[in-house]
Every structure is written in C-alpha cells, then in structure tokens.
Amino acid sequence: MGRLRIQSSIKAIEEEPEDCETTSSNKTAIACMVNSEVSAVLAVMRRNVRWGGRYVSGDDQLEHSLIQSLKTLRKQIFSWQHQWQTISPALYLQPFLDVIRSDETGAPITGVALSSVFKILTLDFLDHNTVNVENAMHSVVDAVTSCRFEVTDPASEEVVLMKILQVLLACMRSKASVMLSNQHVCTIVNTCFRVVHQAGSKSELLQQTARHTMHELVRCIFSHLPEVDDMQQSIVRRGSSTKNKVVDLDNEYSFNKSENGTGTSEYDSQPLSGTFTSSASTGLLNSVIDEGMVMNDNGKDNVPNDLHLMTEPYGVPCMVEIFHFLCSLLNVVEHIGMGPRANTTSFDEDVPLFALCLINSAIELGGPAIHSHPRLLSLVQDELFQNLMIFGLSMSPVILSTVCSIVLNLYQHLHTELKLQLEAFLSCVVLRLAQSRYGASYQQQEVAMEALVDFCRQKSFMVEMYANLDCDITCTNVFEELANLLSKSAFPVNSPLSAMNILALDGLIAVIQGMAERISNGCRSQQNPINLEDHAPFWMVECDSYSDPDHWVPFVRRRKHIKRRLMIGADHFNRDPKKGLEFLQGTYLLPEKLDPQSVACFFRFTAGLDKNLVGDFLGNHDEFCIQVLHEFAGTFDFEDMNLDIALRLFLETFRLPGESQKIARVLEAFSERYYEQSPQILANKDAALLLSYSLIMLNTDQHNVQVKKKMTEEDFIRNNRNINGGNDLPREYLSELYHSICNNEIRTTPEQSAGFAEMNPSRWIDLMHKSKKTSPYIVCDSRAYLDHDMFATMSGPTIAAISVVFDHAEHEDVYKTCIDGFLAVAKISACHHLEDVLDDLVVSLCKFTTLLNPSLVEEPVLAFGDDAKARMATVTVFTIANEYGDFIRTGWRNILDCILRLHKLGLLPARVTSDAADDSEAPSDTGHGKSLPNSLSSAHLQSIGTPRRSSGLMGRFSQLLSLDTEEPRSQPTEQQLAAHQRTLQTIQKCRIDSIFTESKFLLADSLLQLARALIWAAGRSQKGSSSPEDEDTAVFCLELLIAITLNNRDRIRLLWQGVYEHIASIVHSTVMPCALIEKAIFGLLRICLRLLPYKENLADELLRSLQLVLKLDARVADAYCEQITQEVSRLVKANATHIRSQMGWRTITLLLSITARHPEASEAGFDALVFIMSDGAHLSPANYVLCIDAARNFAESRVGPADRPARAVDLMAGSVASLACWSKDTREALAETEAVKLSQDIGDMWLRLVQGLRKVSLDQREVRNHALLSLQMCLKGDHEIYLPNSVWLQCFDMVIFTMLDDLIELASQKDYRNMEETLVLALKLLAKVFHQLLHELSQLTTFCKLWLGVLNRMEKCMKVKVRGKKSEKLQELVPELLKNTLTIMKSKGVLVKRSALGGDSLWELTWLHVNNIVPSLQSEVFPDNDSENVQPDPVFSETNPNE
C-alpha cells in the first residue's frame, strides 16, 4: 500500500535475447570482479597478526570463519553456470557483510569490505528481478547500519564512516532499492543522520560528506513521491485529525531507539571500539538526538497495523516518518526553552538550517504529489508551517532566506491547500521584517524583500492574493499591504538610491508586468458597478463555483465591495456606534431591523473596529446587547481547544470591560460556548465559568506589577477545588493552565489593529481551525479578470515610486527597468480605461524629458543628446501617446508642451503639421474636370508668412554646422556631433508626426482633449508677450489644429466649434498682418475647401465661418485680399455643386463682391463669378439674386479691364435663360400650389435682375447703354417666363419709369458722354415694352395711370436739355414713338372715343397730354372723329380677372 511502482521498462536479464558468447563473457567478468574484491579483503586481513596465523580449537587447527567464508566464495564463483540475476545475491554478499558486522575486524578491513559491497551494488545486474534481491538488500542495510570495527586511528574511522555513507546512498540509488521496506529506508536515513551527528567533532571533509549524503538521500527518496500509488486509505488508518503523529516503530527501526536487531548494543563502546557514537558531541546536538527525534506512541492497538505498513516496500509511510523527523529537528527551539524572540545569531543555526535545507529538497522534488497524501499535507500545513513562522523571524539571514525559499516552493506546489498559512506568513513574517519600524535588521529587511520580490515574479501570485485574501472579509488585505510596501520601499529617503530601493522596484514592476501580460490573454475592461439592493448576510455569501471565472469573478468583486463598505462602516462606528450601524443599514449590510446575529458578525469579521467600543457594547446590560454577546461567542470554534487558548482568542477580539457585572456577562457567554464545544474534562458550563474567572484572576495576579505577593501553583490548584460538579479537576490540567498563564499573559486590553500581529501558539491553533472552514482557494489563470480593481488600488503609489527611482537613478539599466514599468502602467491603464492614471503617468514622464524646464544651457540640443534619461523619457512619452492616445485626456497638454519645446529647438520633422489628405487627396474641379493644385502649398505659405527659423531635423543640424554668424565659431567636436546625432535619432523614434496624422483613429474624447490642448497652448502664447517665438508657437499650434481637423473630417462636428471659436478669437484680436492671422484665414479656407465635398450637412456652418473674413481689420484684409480671393475662387470651383443653401451662397457672393473694388483681387473674384453664372451652370434659386447683386457690383466697379463691366452686364442678362428654364420646369413638374409659389419667386428674381440692370444703366460710363440694351432684351416677351400683370406694373414703376426719370435728371445735371443716345435707347425701350404688353395691360383698372406715366415721360424727354439745349434726336423721336403708340392703341381698340356716361377720362386725358407734346397728332391719328361711333369704355365696364 502506498508503495513505489516498479518500472515496467526494467526486464529480467534472462528475457533479453543475447548470444551465448556475450552471456558467457559477462558472467566471467562479474566473477572476476567479485574474486578481486575477495582477494582485496583477504589481503588486508592477512596484514593483521590476528588474521595471519591459525586459530586453535581443541586439537584441530582451523581458519577463522570470516576467512573461510571468503575462500569458499572464491571457490564457488567460477563454478556457477547460471545467469547472475538467477543467483541469490546473499551468496556473494554475505561474506562481505559478515566482515562488516564483525567487531573483531579493524577499520581498514571494514573499509575494504564496504568498498566491495558498494562496487557490487553499482552493477547493473542487481535489480528488482534478481532472485531474493529483497532479502539481500535488507541484509546489506542491516549489516551496514550495525557495522562494528576496531578504531586504530581517527583517520581510518572517518574513512569507514564515509564508506558507510557511500554504501547507504548506493542502496537508495540502486535499481533494487524499490525492494527496500519502509523500515529499512527509515533506518538508512537514521543511520546517515547519526553519522552527521558524530561528524560534528571530526574533520570538515567528513562533516560535509555526511551532510551531502543526507541531502542526496532525501532527494532520492522524495523524488519517488510522484510515482507512489494513490492509495491513501491504508496510510491514514488513524483518522484524519491533523494532530495525529507518525507511527512508532519497533526497537530495530525506530529513529529514537539505540538497539539493533542482534540484541547487542550498537553503542557498547570500549576505548578502541569503533561505533557511530564513540566521539563526544555538543550538548545541543545531544538534545537533538535525545529530545528532538522522540516520537509519540499513540497506543498499542495501532502498532501491528503500523508495523505491517512499515515492512512493505517503501512508499508514503517512510516519507511521512522522514518528513516528520525533519520537522522535529526544528522543534529543538522549544525543547531547549527558546522562543522566537530569543532566536538570535548567538543560537547555533546549524541544526535548523540543516533541517530546513533537507525539507526544502523534499518539497522541491515531491511537492506536487504531497497534495495527494493527507498525512504529508497535514505535516506541511501544521507542524512545518508553524516552525517556518518561528524561524521566519530568525536573526540569521541564512535561515530566513531558506525559510522563504521553502514557502515559495510550497506556494508553487500547494498554494491551494495553504491559503491561511500563506496569509499568516506574509503578514507576520514578510511584512513585519521588510519594514524597519518593527525593529528588523537591514539584513532581515533585505532577505524579506528579496523573498517578496520572488513571490511577485510568480505571475499569478498577486492576483491570487487579491482574490483569496483581499476579497475575503475574514482575511487581511495582503495584496494592498504588499503593494504599498513595495511602493514605499522603492522611495529613497534622504539618501542616494540603495540596493533595497532597486529591489523593491523590481518587485513592483514584476507585479505590473504580470498585469500587462495578462491583458494580451483577454482584457475584461467592462467593470459593472456593484449595487447592494437588499440585505443578505455578508458572512454567509457563497460562490456557486470557485473554479468557473463566470461565477467567482463577480463573487469576489462583490465580496471586496462588501469588505470596503464594512471598513467604511467601521470608521463610522468608531466615531459614533449608533451612526455606524445606521450607515451599514443604509448600505444593506445590516438588516433594516437590527438582529443580534448580524451585529455580532459585524463585530467578529470587520477589521479596524475600536475594540474598546466593541467591549462596551458586548458588556452592556441591554437585552439586545446580551443577545449580540451570545451570538458573538457563537462565531468562535473552540473544539478540541484548551481553555486558556480559547480564552485568549476570545479576549483578543475586544477589550474586556472593567466592571465586574460586564465581565460576568462576557465570561458567562464564553463559558457557555466553550462547554458546548469542548466538554471533555469539564462537567458543566458552571465549571467553565468558574475556571475562566480563576484564569482571569491568575492573569491579573501574575502580570500586574502592583501585586507583590504572587499566587503559587499550589494556591491556584487549591482555589479551584470542587468546581467541576463538586469534584476536582485533574492536577496536571490545572498545572498546565497555571504555567501557560504565568509564561504568557492574557492581554485583556488587546492592541488595536495597527500593524501586523505576531503569531503565537493560540493564534496558530485558531488559524488551523479556520483553515478547515475557509472558502476554497481560487486559482487564477492568465486572464485579466481582477486587474482593473487591483491596478486602481496601486496605480498612484506605483507611478510615484517608479518616478522617484527614475529621478534618482544614475545607471542605464535602472532607467530601462523604470521605462518598462512606465510602459506596463500605460498599457494597463489603457486596457482598463483608467484615463486619470494615464494622465498622471504622462505628467510624471514629461517632467523627465527636461523639455518643460527653462533652458539654462547654451546648447539645449546637445545637452539633450547627452542626457540618456531625458531621451528615454521623451521616447516613452511619445510611445505612450502613439499607442495609448485613445485614453489620454488632460495629459495632452503636457505632451504638447514637449512638442512645442522641440519645435522651438527646430527638432520636429516638417511632416508633423501635414494632414493625411495632403498626399492622398486633391479635390477636383467639378465644373471642368481638372484637378486643382493645393492652395496652401508650403512655398506659398513661406512667401506670404513671416520669416521662420530653419525647422526640421536637417535644418537644426545645418545650424550646428553653419559658420555664417557674426562671430566665427569653431567646428563642432566629435562629442557634439555624436550628441546631436543621438538627439536626431531620439526624435525619429518618437514618431511625433503620427500623433496628428493618425489622429483619425483616436477615440472621440481623446481627440477632443487633444484639440482643446492645442487651443489652450496657442491661446497661452497669444496672451503672453508678443515675441516672435510666442507668435511662432501660436502659428504652429494652429497648424496642428488644422491638420487634425482635416484628418478627422468624419468627426468634424466634434471639433468644429472649438476650431471656429479659436480662429474667430484670432480674427477679432488681430489688427495688423502677421503669420498667425494669415494661418488662421487660410486654414479656415482650406478646411472649407477640403470638407465641403464630404460634409454637406455641415456646409452652412462651414460657409458661415467664412464671414470671419469680412470681419478682418481693414489693414489685414487689404494685405491678404488677393490670396483670400484666390482661395475663395478655388473653393467655388471645387465645391459649387455642394453649396446649396442661400446662406452659404450669401457668404460666397459677399466675399466676391468685396473684391470688385480691389485692384489685385478683382480678377480672381470676377473669374469665380463667371464660373458660377456662365450658361447658368451653377445658378440656382438659392443664389440667383446674390449672384445678380455681385455681378452688378462688378459692372459698377471701376477697377480691372475696361470690358469687365460689359461682361458683368452680359452675365446678368444671360441669367434670364436660367429663369426661363426654371419657370418651364416648374410648370411641368410641380403641383399647382407649389408652381404658383415658385412662379412668384421667379418673378421676384426677374424683377431683381431688371432692377440691377436699371442701376447699371445710370452709370457714368458708356456701359449704361449696354445695360439698357440688356435690359431691353430681358424685358422682351420671348423668354417664356410667366410673369403676372402685377409684376409688370412693378417693373414699369420701379424700373422703366424710375430709370427714365433718373436719366432725364442726369442729362439735365451731368455732362455724361452719349447721354442723348442713352435717352433715345431708354425711350425706345419704354415704347417697345408698352407696345408688347398693351393688350394685357389695357385690361387693368390702373391702365389709365400707367398710360399717363408713359405720356408724362415722353413729355419730359421733349423738354429735357442735354448739355444745355434740347436734343434734336429726342424732338424727332418722341413724336414718332407717340404717334406709333397712339396708332397701335387705336388699332387695338384701346384708345377710342366712348359715350359720355361717366365721362371719357382715358380719351380726354390722353389728348390733354398729347396736345402738350405734339398738338397735331390727334388729327393725324384720328382724322375722322365721328361722334356716332361711340363705344363703352372697357376700363369702367369690367375688371380684368388677371389684375
């Protein structure tokens, strides 16, 4: 049971196919070897006088039996015909073993015999298939472990001891070792340890050899533990109690017995007899042998079963024995009366260190398999770990280091079984020793810190500590404490950087990098908030599955949330208990109506409570408080626990009140709970109460300095007579209690939860009780389930610690370590969307770039090149900006400050301010299909901008090499050139341009913050002094802002408001031409040019922004008018089809109109207008009136070519075709109502057109005649525009009559050239239009008024004087036109004499005016004025429905 598996690969020799010759040869060779060993032993024996002669026995002379058996073996070995595996090894081993056992042989003879046995054991033929190999191996072990020899000199004795070790180790390494029993393996180890024990007074060689052999034996034995059959039931027959000890063996195989199987004493020593204990040893080691290895006898009934296990082939039982033995070596501290505080370097560290090294080897090799064997696991959990806690506080750095190594190995192999033990070790050892405030030496601190860093390098250690301990309300926050310790320890305090600081930094970065690595395995950044919506007992929360992350991840996060709320509640409780409980009720951690159990569990499981307040509450006489007290006592587990230990644990959780009544209530509740769980000795709970009182009194008596006469043991026993139900308690029991209290005070005023408590026996017992009930250990895989919460806790101190170390560091390897940490922090922050953390990191890093510091050096570029720390920090900052820019917010300002500094130094590549479309896109001219060159080329900007320093990497380099300065400069040195080269390489690594060219991939929030940072930086420069550098900075920021705006055209709405307001502020604050206003204006135009094709829904806002150009100061506008116009022209040509709103066109035409009076800009402006209006290509109802007004402005302008006014008039006149087209389309496509509405709009547009031409017809220049001809063309009726009569009436009143009136007035007042011809054209226009519309207009009621207006203008023309005299042409033309008009009116029946009813007003008024102009016309037109032919006047008889 629990034995080693025999390897199936080992086969019997006779099964292997071999030819006869080979077999014969092997047999002969082995026989020769054995024969030579026999010869060697005989040769040594013959050198001794005792063995050289013959012994006399009676009358016969016989050889000694030892020599005889050797000679007999020599005779037989060559006669054996069988395979050596088929021959019992006892036949050829026994003669040698007899020599070893004999006490008559000297050390040389015994040594040779041992060497012979060693050689035979190492032969390959001796394995588990060999006949009787089991008995042979047992015989070898028995003989060697009971070896006797005469000591002739110390050297020969040491040789024999070393050979004994050699043979024992060979037994364990032999293939046949699987046949050894558990007893024999234990005996081998025991014998080896006795040699180690004796070697203390012998040579260093023997000491080291013995220790090495012991080490190898343990490694050899425990390396087979993973191969042992998993049959646990036969190993743990005594039950599962962790207090069971390992079995007691019979005298032959016991570690602690001194007798061998022959019945003669192994240690019967004479002066010259060689035994293992013939030499004296130190007192301490004697105590180890005499006390440390004693094993408890658990009863005779168990011995037969145990012996049966121990005689089986070796396996778990012997390993349990050996492991327990090794642990018992550590108990020597207790046996010689030393506590942990006395464990100083004056104590011989040899034995515990030796034991610890052996234990470490056993765990290294058998660690994973210990989990499968409860007895071994129990030893590790309890006895071993308790000793590790003690030796962990050793003053010896060597012991402490070994202890930490063991715990690390245990964590690797058994962490799932050691949850609370690991918590205790980390809290009570590592965290205590790693901090100087607990009195640890520097060596202890360093070893503890090294151990902590080793733990941190285990990828899942910190996250498992967080999940299992920090998120458990009954455990301490180990992760938080460790992280804080590492952060604090990394800080150099008023001193240079020390090895301890670097060590702590390594641990901190190991934790961070572990998190960063887990991100790539699956980042769960979605952290749902935890809300406790109703009350549930927080101490009873369970997880459905501790192995399924879908279950345990939300479970531990919820439990951590509860723990945090409990800590806050504890803080409230400490200030005001009532408000504290109310707070917990408000957060659903306590029920709305308080119950005793909930409050008791709050007191029991919440750390940080004021123990004085808890004690007062529990001791209160209020009924509810008494119920809480009993529930509180019910939370303790006192099973199988001594009364004093139980009382210590109980009173550690609160301060025992001082009033006797309160004490009585508290002890009564305790006694009731204790008797309920541990009634073994006590008769009833009253006995428990009385004895508890007695212990409190004894504790006060023994440890109160004011008590002079102390209670004796007899007094204590006498005071407790007859309390156990009328009987006495066992004297030994009371004596044990008495000494426990005397030696270790019960603290009735426990320390508040500050710092880390020291582990004591009672706390350890409590820990072992808790370990049976604690929740299962959660194993965390390589995914980032809890890293968000963990990192949020430690990020601030971590960044600060790494920053301080980086600041103080002087070596590049430390720089590199810090940079790795910074990048890991950035990666984690980005993954878990911790923007504030990333901003803090960026702020911290930017300080190290030295770019934000005022330049105090002559050549900052060279200084930067010589500063490795600054260069590494700079690359890191921009690496973070490029890779994790999505999650940078306020940090953009600091990054931008670094960029601006590099810009001032001329170190930025020129492509930084470019946008992605510069190289990949070029909007095409939609009108003509030709691509347009970029309007804001770098050459163009340089030509119109203020001179700028040479920028770019090579520009700065050329400055370094230039000699064109006022004072001649020396050539740069090689060091300067190298520094400059390093600077250039650093900037190239930064990829600064990618931040802006790749900004289209930034998340919206980050992009917005980047834009705001640019605006902030530019505005800061504007507000400061107006130095060229500040202006250059503002220009550069604006360039970057424009670049990211263009790169993010799909998200222009996000950026537009800020960009517009910034440009507007520049426009409003600038009164003189400068590079900044230039960049603002042309940047705005460039944005519009590039974005209009893609953002039609934003077109109005973009075009409205161009109104800023109209608000430019006159000096600024004049300076850039031509270039602005060119840009607007390009904008129109590229995007005319995308401008659809009237508001947009108003802005465009307004800009073009302004250029009409600017000599340089008018050509480009008119060119854009021609593009819009030619052939009506881009005319629309939205822009028609605006374009007409703009064209009129150009027609009236006196700048530009002489033919431009006429061309402008032609554009106006030509636009009537568009009106005709729209009118036709309207009638065909739209419904009646819509058609009427649009017809009215077309009429208004036509009216605006002819009004524009009317205004041009008043021009001083001869373009007025051209305008009149164009007006006449527009007034013709052949353009198919449907115009209602009302529009024509408006046309006569507002256009024709007004025009004639103005012309007549001009003719009489101004001496314009060809004014006479103009009047002629105007009169003809009047007559033609009147004739054309006579039929329609004559139907109107207002026709008479209209006709009188015509006559009135003709009369004025007859009277007008041009250049001081009447015009002959007009004198001729007016009568002719009037006659023609009257004739037409007569022919159409408009002008006829009618009946006198109502008066013939039209007829009379006509001739009244005509007679004033040409009196003879009436007789010419109406020669026969027959009064009989009188017709009714239609004007008065009916009304035209079209009026």
Could you list the active site residues? 659
| Burial class of residue 48 (count of CB atoms within 10 Å of its CB; 0-12, 13-18, 19+) | middle
Structure tokens at 172: 């364990």
**Whole-angstrom Cα distance, residue 804 to residue 795?**
14
| 1075, 1116 contact by CB (below 8 A) | no
State how beta strands 1365-1366 and 1361-1362 pair.
antiparallel
Residue 152 to residues 144, 156, 199, 1358, 1435: CA-CA distances in angstroms?
19, 7, 17, 168, 166
| 4, 178 contact by CB (below 8 A) | yes
Q: Which residues does residue 130 pair with via DSSP β-bridges, in sequence order? A: none
Angle, alpha carbons 611-616-618 (nearest 5°) = 90
Extended beta strands in 599-706, E state:
none
Please provide the distance, in angstroms rounded to a whole number, between the alpha carbons at the two ends of the chain: 124
Amino acid at 889: R
Of the candidates 783, 776, 788, the one whose C-alpha atom is nearest the C-alpha of residue 547 is: 776
Please list the alpha-helical segments (H only) found in 849-973: 860-866, 868-884, 891-904, 917-920, 938-944, 953-961
Amino acid at 1339: Q
| 1157, 1125 contact by CB (below 8 A) | no
**Whole-angstrom Cα distance, residue 232 to residue 1370?**
137
Q: Which letter does DSSP use for residue 3 in this model?
A: B
Structure tokens at 855: 């330049």
| 513, 458 contact by CB (below 8 A) | no
| 1186, 1149 contact by CB (below 8 A) | yes
Structure tokens at 929: 């299909």
b/e for 1204-1222, b at 16 or more Cβ within 10 A? bbbbbbbbbbbbbebbbeb
| 737, 644 contact by CB (below 8 A) | yes
| Burial class of residue 921 (count of CB atoms within 10 Å of its CB; 0-12, 13-18, 19+) | middle
Q: What backbone phi and psi angles, to 5 degrees, belong to 1281?
A: -100, 125
Could you tell me the maximum CA-CA distance found in the chain, to the nearest angstrom?
207
Question: 3-state DSSP call for residue 228?
Answer: strand
| 518, 784 contact by CB (below 8 A) | yes
Structure tokens at 322: 């050996």
Q: Assign residue 1314 a region: left if phi > 0, alpha if psi is -120 to 50, beta otherwise?
A: left
Q: What does the chain come to in residues?
A: 1443
Structure tokens at 752: 């508040």
Helix (H) or strand (E) holding 1366: strand 1365-1366
In the numeric block, the tokens 């790795």 are attached to 820
Residue 275 to residues 265, 378, 1243: CA-CA distances in angstroms?
10, 37, 135
Residue 969 CA, distance from chain mean position: 51
**Whole-angstrom Cα distance, residue 1400 to residue 368?**
131
Structure tokens at 1109: 């150009």
**Whole-angstrom Cα distance, residue 1391 to residue 1383?**
9
